[in-house]
Amino acid sequence: MNFPEIPSQEHAMQASLPAYSYMPLQAPYSGYRIPLNENSTFPPALHPFSYDADGVSPIFIGSAILPSSVHPCKIVPALDPKCMFPYGGREHHHRGRYDLLPFDANTMECVPTSHGQIPAGRRPVGGGYEDNGNKLYHGIATVGGVRVPGKTGPHLGGCNVSFAGQEHIIHENYDILCWKF
């Protein structure tokens, strides 16, 4: 995705436009999101990140909005509810607000990592935060042959994903979603 060049403050003032009305040069920390909830019509024509164990149900990357935290999650439109996140050893079904992160292979990439590490020189896509303020990033781990979006961060020591009713913690050989340079 290419963004227009940001005009200078002086140019914005000459044009009688507020400077903040221009798009940034790079995507924000957490990317451009589509806000949804359990009653939302799922946006058409989006390319899924992966497919569920049945091989046909698409899986998308997202963030579940909770009262005091935001957790990276998986979104599966074929399920009810569509949004699930890992926490406390199990898969939680979320019926509140969640944000879908459209995966864009032109600006994002999955970078191999282990043990909660952020690969040197990489800028991970922000996925949320815990109620204590720890940052969470989008991680992707393979469970049962399925690439499942979940959460990662240095304090987690791995990638936590929800799959088949459980929280799976993968310590080695998973990916972290990063911005391409």
Find tokens 């005009």 and name the residue: 7
Contact partners, residue 16, CB within 8 Å, separation at least 6 = none
- Report the relative pairing of strands 50-51 and 34-36 from DSSP bridges: unpaired
Q: Is 50's pLDDT higher than 50?
A: yes
- Report the relative pairing of strands 98-101 and 58-65 from DSSP bridges: antiparallel
pLDDT tens sequence across 61-118? 999 999 999 999 999 999 999 999 999 999 999 999 999 999 999 999 999 999 999 9
When pLDDT is cut at 50, 70 and 90, the band that residue 28 belongs to is low
Q: Model pTM?
A: 0.83
Q: Note the pLDDT of residue 69.
A: 97
- How confident is the model over 128-157, as a mean pLDDT? 97
- How confident is the model over 135-144, as a mean pLDDT? 97
- How confident is the model over 54-60, as a mean pLDDT? 96
